[in-house]
Structure 1
């Protein structure tokens, strides 16, 4: 029998004083959890669920089967981990508040921008500059469309697309992420000035990618996608999507560590829209706080995704700003550290207002007498 355990935060407060300090500060950020569901899964089936708070969770964990006891304790510790900054060249990106990653697609067939920046370095450079000025801390450059049904991209074409963009972003002093599944592209991108490997296959597509990232010492973003080969959207069959994705991300985290990648350099992404239905995506977003139990910073890439159109009368991708901001705020409320977005200025504004509310909440009840 295979036993698996999950600790899912389910009750939140604006600040620790709301519960007299009896909270967990998720991942060293600005989200505070007070109640938790501890879920036991045996042979893929859910068998027990305990709801507890910070006073009683220790008792619940002490009564768990020996097969999951160590993992449960590790997850509880992971929920409280304060992550160090991501070191990206001369930049250090702090992870104690949400950071915004701006998307720069230099493809002819992106689902969102439709090739607006393809083979147009002046336009792409201006857009990257505008995103940085608006508050993006990282520019994520991609040269291959990964939308459902997109044709595979030859490695040489991908290099020709991304390397000029990396060079003009590096000239601006930007922190740069390269969105690629191919080790050859990753190697060339790092040499050109990129700092982060963002791999939508979680480095399954090209087995050389992990060893290359380990040797380079660069941060990696490992995203969940159910498919393999060229079709990342296939094989999206789940027993329970939020927990199944958790399990896969755990396996990819451990594979990266085994390959020599430092835990401090691993970011996890649940892969919204990749081989997932609308109910699947909604379930994952509602479960986002649980993924902190994996002990890594989290990235949410939900900007302009198909699920927004499905919930808003099939709105076209360029008319999904409201839904994108709603999902970004959901991510912030879950303690997500990185938001990968198209609309940087609007998302930064939403983040700043969210941050203001969180800061103000830390002084709530400060003037009330002790009861």
Structure 2
């Protein structure tokens, strides 16, 4: 089972501690914490070796290999959809079939399935549906090849980005908060990456013009509050975290960078270059990033809170929110770990 110890134990605020661990393969873990969120009741389930384990039923439902599965991490039930075909099925927590519909696209439920994004095969259209498989709100989004989408961690919708610059900010009912083409007055541009601040106010956009990378930070109305260049060009998606102050943490294969008011404040060079995927997560009170063989915790102002070691064999990891603001989760190759701010 995954194990770690803090490098230091100093009186920093917030105090972030591991409060629960679950072994993915063995399907067992420590007792839920006495105080705070119960992970068994909050997390829907997880995938291990392409098999879905449901915390709701403490079991792995039998799934025909012709189907792929999608499920809201903090919601209920799961979707089965055909690898090749147009059949989508929604099952309850108890594996009871609630509905079956001919939908020729791929579902992405995010954290709460509000809304569920259905991605077209050509990646030029995103259909917006609810848990019952009915179109809601804006109903569909169109653009020039989907490159990124991010769900609001507090169940307040999502943001969708196409490479051509079409961006859509939606609420939890898929109603449009703002939507427009970012590529206007930006010839030869390509839009790649997104992030949403924990309070949902700011959206950061990573894009390139010719061979130069840029960052846009938009406010809740979609108006630009910052626009600044990056020192290096990255021909791929980057992983970003945006604070409630509009500050930016940028995870690249070679470094972790922090920007405030559009200016690079610091950069931490990684000892080893790894793949494109990088782990980073922002809450109201901190940002956590995987750097080399460490988890590094920062305040939203970019000040280091603490570090902890993690075995390279557990990487890459992913983070996702809890249902309460004081909780988040980390999934490694072998374990689920709950962290709480105490």
Give yes or no for TM over 0.5. no
Task: Answer 1 or 2: which has greater helix percent.
Answer: 1
Q: Give 1 or 2: higher strand fraction.
A: 2
TM-score, with length taken from structure 1: 0.28
What is the TM-score with the length of structure 2 in the denominator? 0.30
